[in-house]
């Protein structure tokens, strides 16, 4: 292939492979990894990936196990498996010859945002974009993800402020020292404001924190206006981060453990 193209690839994992799509710009630049939410797929991020590639980023979208081609596994897939999926996708992006390994952004929505926060403890992440990131109790890590909604009272859990010490994703957020974009939906019935407040409270060590609320939006951004608003927020923020890097901000990504 030549630079400036999009191509499909397979990401090897223990139980088989994940479907992914790589978008590559014309020069060696930062990498952006997109993580869809529960019940979603990589198609939801392709347009944003195209826009990120246009401002000079190597972009990777992919389908988590239990989605798209592997939909049949949705009843049994666990958070452990999906986190391993995310690590495999990150390593694929980092291994691309055009990717600056010190300048990788991870962008996640809902369940994908929750996993993205945890990833920051396992791999170097410079920029972290979270849209309506979910929260789950630490218990039952290897329990099928769908069963968590039956075994845990997630509605009650998400209605209270959760201290960072009590949740794996929030502990990772508390230790994250890169730049953060945190986006809330005004009328979110799944991830209420208290969850966003828990993340806001946790990100005390972040180099910068950009927090925005999309007026009138629901959890899934079901109307076109909300979709456009989020895309604009994301592209503007990423553009600012990339411009800062090119202007001479050459600090390396926060160091993180290299093994899962």
Number of domains the chain is built from: 1
Domain membership flag for residue 108: yes
Domain-embedded: residue 3: no
3-43 residue pLDDT tens: 467 889 999 999 899 999 998 766 678 999 999 999 999 99
Task: Please tell me the pTM assigned to this model.
Answer: 0.88
Distance of CA 237 to the CA centre of its chain: 15
User: Helix, strand, coil: what percent of the chain each, to 5?
Assistant: 40, 25, 35
Q: CATH no. for residue 83?
A: 3.40.50.1820
Q: How far is CA 23 from CA 2, 47, 128, 220, in A?
A: 11, 11, 19, 24
pLDDT digits (tens, 9 = 90+) for 93-149: 999 999 999 999 999 999 999 999 999 999 999 999 999 999 999 999 999 999 999
Q: Give me the domain span that covers residue 135.
A: 12-61+73-246
Q: In this structure, is residue 260 part of a structural domain? A: no
- Beta strand residue intervals within 110-158, DSSP E: 127-131
Are the beta carbons of 84 and 106 closer than 8 angstroms? no
Specify if 6 maps to a domain.
no
Is 18 within the bounds of a domain?
yes
- 92: Cα within 13 Å, side-chain hemisphere: 25
């Amino acid at each position: 292939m030549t630079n400036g193209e999009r191509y499909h690839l397979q990401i090897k994992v223990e139980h088989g492979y994940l479907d992914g799509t790589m978008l590559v710009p014309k020069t060696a630049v930062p990498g952006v990894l997109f993580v869809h939410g529960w019940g979603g797929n990589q198609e939801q991020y392709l347009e944003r990936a195209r826009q990120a590639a246009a401002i000079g980023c190597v972009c990777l979208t992919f389908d988590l196990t239990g989605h798209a081609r592997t939909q049949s596994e949705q009843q049994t897939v666990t958070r452990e498996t999906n986190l391993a999926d995310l690590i495999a996708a990150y390593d694929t992006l980092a291994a691309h010859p055009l990717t600056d390994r010190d300048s990788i952004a991870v962008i996640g929505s809902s369940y994908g945002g929750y996993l993205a926060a945890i990833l920051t403890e396992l791999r170097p992440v410079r920029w972290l974009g979270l849209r309506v990131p979910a929260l789950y109790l630490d218990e039952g890590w290897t329990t099928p993800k769908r069963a968590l909604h039956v075994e845990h009272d997630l509605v009650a859990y998400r209605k209270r402020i959760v201290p960072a010490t009590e949740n794996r994703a929030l502990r990772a957020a508390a230790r994250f020292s890169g730049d953060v974009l945190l986006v809330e939906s005004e009328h979110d019935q799944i991830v209420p404001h208290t969850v966003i407040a828990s993340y806001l409270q946790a990100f005390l060590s972040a180099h910068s924190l950009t927090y925005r609320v999309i007026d009138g939006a629901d959890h899934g951004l079901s109307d076109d206006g909300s979709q456009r608003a989020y895309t604009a927020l994301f592209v503007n923020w990423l553009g600012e981060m990339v411009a800062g890097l090119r202007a001479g901000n050459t600090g390396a990504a926060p160091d993180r453990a290299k093994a899962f």
